[in-house]
Amino acid sequence: MNLKKALVEILDERTIDKLVTSFDRIGEVIIIRIPEDAQAEQMHIAEALHTVYPKVRTIAAVPLHAQTDDRYRTRDLTVIWGDPSLETTYCERGCRYKADLKQVFLSPRLSYERMRIAEKVAPGETILNMFAGVGCFSILIAKLQLDATVYSVDVNPHAFSYLQENVALNRVEGRVIPVLGDAGDVAAELQGRIDRVLMPLPESAHAFLPAAVRALRLWRGGDAGDGTAGMIHYYAVARGRGERDLLTAPFARAEELIAAAFGDRIHVQREEQRIVRSVGPRKYHVVLDLRMTRER
């Protein structure tokens, strides 16, 4: 039995279509976004989900267009069926991640994006992941590129604790380096030592963009510098309809922020850009792969 068939006697077809595309299975937990007009049926929805996925231990609901906390990236989850614990272990591409979904952010919908970035990493790179969460981007990079070092920063103490645990679980100690703290402060400490920066925090990454540029090897040796180029994977929120509009505005904003901080000393080039996912009505997360070069 599929989920549509399980829900057909409970909800109308339009609502069923929304639900079928708005839930994630993360280990033994299902998180489902429930529209307002289906709130009264959430227990029936949970029972239908369990019928289709009998190995699931917990089902939690989140409002359809709920916002994620900007600082800790937590969501307002309510357990509507099963075990009240939201701690689970999620497996992806040979990696295992332990997480409490009430306390941290973890989305299987970023699986393609994590692999896309990891495959770009070259041997010997030193990487700064400014918003590492429980380590999904960082650990996959370390698994695929054995010579890379990934400084993995998060301000959420719960995420940091799971990051440490996941580093040990995946046996990447010494290559993924967990850091608890403010991403801007850590970037300043690593100034001139980084080849690639990851900024997977779309709602707030813009505020840290100058710090990310400063971390790159462009500044090796100080303001005079002898670095050549560096890469930043910059995630942002975009609103609109067409792909061109969605990607043009975030790039213009990034250019403005970098120009305000560095004048004409930094040249910014888009190597790749894509819409990552929809997060609301005409609201999207996008990523721009920005190559930074230093003007001599």
Q: Are residues 49 and 131 in the same domain?
A: no
Q: Is residue 91 part of a domain?
A: no
Q: Do residue 183 and residue 254 come from a single domain? A: yes
Q: Is residue 167 part of a domain?
A: yes
Is the same domain home to 130 and 269? yes
Mean pLDDT of 210-221: 89
The fraction of the chain above a pLDDT of 90, given in percent, is 75
Structure tokens, 36: 């307002």
| pLDDT tens per residue across span 8-20 | 888 888 888 878 7
Confidence of residue 37 (pLDDT cuts 50, 70, 90): confident
| 97 within a domain of the structure (yes/no) | no
- Region 39-49: mean pLDDT is 90
Check whether 95 has a pLDDT greater than 90: yes
- Domain termination residue (choose one: 85, 118, 153): 85
How does pLDDT run across 141-190, given as a tens digit for each residue? Answer: 999 999 999 999 999 999 999 999 999 999 999 999 999 999 999 999 99
Domain count, the chain: 2
Asked, for residue 95, whether it belongs to a domain, the answer is no
| Residues 183 and 108 reside in one and the same domain | yes
- Same-domain check for residues 115 and 226: yes
- One domain for residues 69 and 209: no
Q: How far apart are CA 226 and CA 210, in angstroms?
A: 19
CA distances from 188 to 116, 155, 209, 254 (A): 27, 15, 12, 19
96 in any annotated domain: no
- CATH number (domain holding residue 25): 3.30.300.110
Domain C-terminal end among 37, 55, 85: 85
* Placement of tokens 């999207």 in the chain: 284
Of residues 35 and 82, the one with the higher pLDDT is 82
pLDDT band for position 107 (50/70/90)?
Answer: very high
Taking each helix axis from N to C end, the angle separating 111-118 and 136-144, rounded to the nearest 10 degrees, works out to 40
Same domain, residue pair 155 and 206: yes
Residue 283 within a domain: yes
More confident: 285 or 13 = 285
Please give the residue that has the higher pLDDT: either 55 or 223. Answer: 55
Domain boundary among 40, 59, 85: 85
Give the mean pLDDT of 123-137: 97
Residues 79 and 109 in one domain: no
CB 95 within 8 A of CB 71: no
Same domain, 174 and 271: yes
Q: Which residue range(s) make up the domain with 41? A: 3-85
What percentage of residues in the chain have a pLDDT greater than 70?
95
What are residue 137's phi and psi, to 5 degrees?
A: -65, -50
Segment 75-89 mean pLDDT: 95
pLDDT digits (tens, 9 = 90+) for 230-259: 999 999 999 988 877 899 999 999 999 999
Residue 39 has pLDDT above 70, yes or no: yes
Ordered alpha helix ranges (H), 172-242:
183-189, 209-215
161 and 261 assigned to the same domain? yes
Predicted pLDDT at 65: 62
> Residue 224 — pLDDT band, cuts 50, 70, 90?
very low
Same domain, 110 and 204: yes
DSSP 236-290: EEEESSSHHHHHHHHHHHHHHHHHHHHTTSEEEEEEEEEEEEEEETTEEEEEEEE
For 253-278, write each residue's pLDDT tens digit. Answer: 999 999 999 999 999 999 999 999 99
